[in-house]
Amino acid sequence: MFQIEFENQEKVVGIDLGTTNSLVAWMNLTKPEVIVGEDGDKLVPSVVSIASDGQIIVGNAARQELIDHPERSIYSVKRLMGRGVEDVQEELKLFPFRIAAGSESVIRVVLGEKTFTPPEVSALILRQLRKNAEEALGATVSKCVITVPAYFNDAQRQATRDAGRIAGLEVLRLVNEPTAAALAYGLDKRKEGIIAVYDLGGGTFDISILKLQDGIFEVLATNGDTHLGGDDIDNRLLRIALEDVKSEWGEDLSASGEAVQTLRRDVIRAKEALSFAPVVTIEFDWHGKAYRREITRELFESLITDIVDRTLGPCRDCMRDAGVTPEQIDEVVLVGGSTRIPMVRSAVEVLFRAKPHTELNPDEVVALGAAVQAGILSGTVENQLLLDVTPLSLGIEMYGGVVSKIIHRNSTIPASAGETFTTGVDGQTNVLIHVVQGERELAKDNRSLARFDLKGIDPMPAGYARVEVRFLIDANGILNVTARDARTGKEQSVDVKPSYGLTDEQVEAMIEASIDHAEDDYNAAQVAGARVDADAILAATDKAKRTDAWVELSDEERQKITDAMNRLQLAYHSDDHHLIQAQIDVLNEVTHALAENMMNTAVRGALKGTHV
């Protein structure tokens, strides 16, 4: 009875929605495990492409499409989450995709004939992860924990939650990636200690200082840079390679999306190899021409010194905010694929004066920690508690444009705080509440989150009215602001929707669209899968026809195979996956003799000249 209930209960998974790769993991009784996808790979590249027939492709297959058809592909979408067009001008110079005309508060990326917002693209990745989890676990997955960089602001966090909703997932918690990493390493087994988590991923850099005491993780401070990551190293090597090619060939390939993405793949391979080899060669072949560039680890390190150094400043600031020195830090954890670079590991060890943990795969550690957090929320894991912090201060604009901070950065969440303000003009009957996020003193220098009016205040001389403003941040870091006139009791409340987030109506419309087209999407996926199978058997049969095994068949057998191939090719272009599969089965049946002949031929070849 209890076993059946356990097997059938809905699973809660942990998701690392990464810039370069994404993963999904779950808590398997005693330990977290990353779930393997249908292609046998744990990592799902965070790449989405639109095929010529309109089919949506995600993951490894999309990464290949990125090379062949970069104009219909998007990667590193995490860099665009919760941000406006003005925020991403530098990134757009390096990306092959283009922004739709009229994109203002919400970015819309053009892929083929369609446009998508960053949350919609992320939702497609989340759906693939959900599908992988449901197939592997044999259970429905509708609830999850998603990790985000600790330095993600309110808009970026809200965009991540929107992506989960569009994908049909209830996001139980957004967890800071460094916090998840500490859980994955089981550092909660310590009685107490100070832990530094250094996270250098594809698109973002985070540093967090955590305090562990009596099973409770408390984030003392966070810092980082949402414009810094492994992508910056890739782009630097790519620019150098493009300049080399232009110099050697007299040809500028930067305008060719396919050439740039092919070269990008080759420089990334070289970069990854340099983590293990002292010297590697970038090998790029394009339209009959070959580019070769040898790079030593010494040269590579000289090229990226400034990028690595840019991570150390936030580390020092974070320690200062946390009130700790390097000598007081007990454990250092490395997260993110870029921490495999020996120079990065060395810099971290020198700064913190402690050898960092490298036992776990840095690509998987965040997903594993998310699974532990999912286990905590679902009741699978007991006696653990996480206390995250808000990465930036939250406040309101005062008269004169100055900011009054109500919840300060690095405050433990959930958090609640309030202050009482007054009017600045005689007879004032309403107050504009302007909510901002940031550390600057003037509102214009901080990020505007929301504006709303508290109306109906009794007209009184300036300075007499009492307006109570209260901020409440929930466990996901989402902000609610309430303003109340203490005299009349009139109140206005708002769940802060960030400037670059999606409205409820937009999110609901996307969810409804996914439901409305669910059957069509399913059928399209089935047809696409059948065509892949058809391509494989047609190619294998065509290859077999050029061997001696084909000659050994009777005329009747050869004719049956030819007829079956023709019927499959006719069915191939239909939209009926049942018809395609039926013709595949027929071709499988009539090629048995051909397969046997090929096997016999192979055995004879293997035994030739052998005496038993």
Angle at 503 between CA 498 and CA 509, to 5 degrees: 150
User: Closest Cα to residue 200, out of 365, 402, 55, 58?
Assistant: 365
- The alpha carbon of 511 is separated from its chain's Cα centroid by a whole number of angstroms, namely 20
Choice among 65, 199, 266, 331 that is catalytic = 199
* 81, HSE (Cβ side, Cα atoms, 13 Å): 31
Neighbours of 491 (CB within 10 A): 13
| DSSP helix/strand/coil, 255 | coil
C-alpha pair distances (Å), 69 with each of 103, 262, 592, 607:
23, 11, 38, 46
Nearest 5 degrees, angle CA 327-CA 333-CA 339?
Answer: 115
**What's the alpha-carbon Rg for the chain, to the nearest Å?**
29
Q: Within the chain, how many helices (H) and strands (E) appear?
A: 17, 28
Is 162 in the active site? no
Specify the DSSP class assigned to residue 357: B
Query: Which residue is it, tokens 């929605």?
Result: 17
Give the chain's length: 612
H helices within 250-358, ranges in order? 257-273, 297-322, 342-352
**Residue in 177, 188, 206, 232 annotated catalytic:** 177
Amino acid, res. 55: Q
d(CA 584, CA 568): 7
Angle 48-178-173 from CA coordinates, rounded to 5°: 70
CB 142 within 8 A of CB 121: no
Active-site residue (options: 16, 65, 120, 154):
16
Query: Has 177 been annotated as catalytic?
Result: yes
Does residue 78 carry a catalytic annotation? yes
Q: Is 16 a catalytic residue?
A: yes
Residues ≥6 apart with Cβ < 8 Å to 258 = 67, 68, 69, 70
Task: Tell me the C-alpha distance between 277 and 269, whole Å.
Answer: 12
DSSP state of 477: S
Selecting among 42, 78, 405, 560, the annotated active-site residue is: 78
Buried-exposed string 534-545: b where 16+ CB fall within 10 A, e elsewhere: beebbeebeebe
d(C-alpha 479, C-alpha 600), whole Å: 71
Catalytic residue ranges: 16, 78, 177, 199
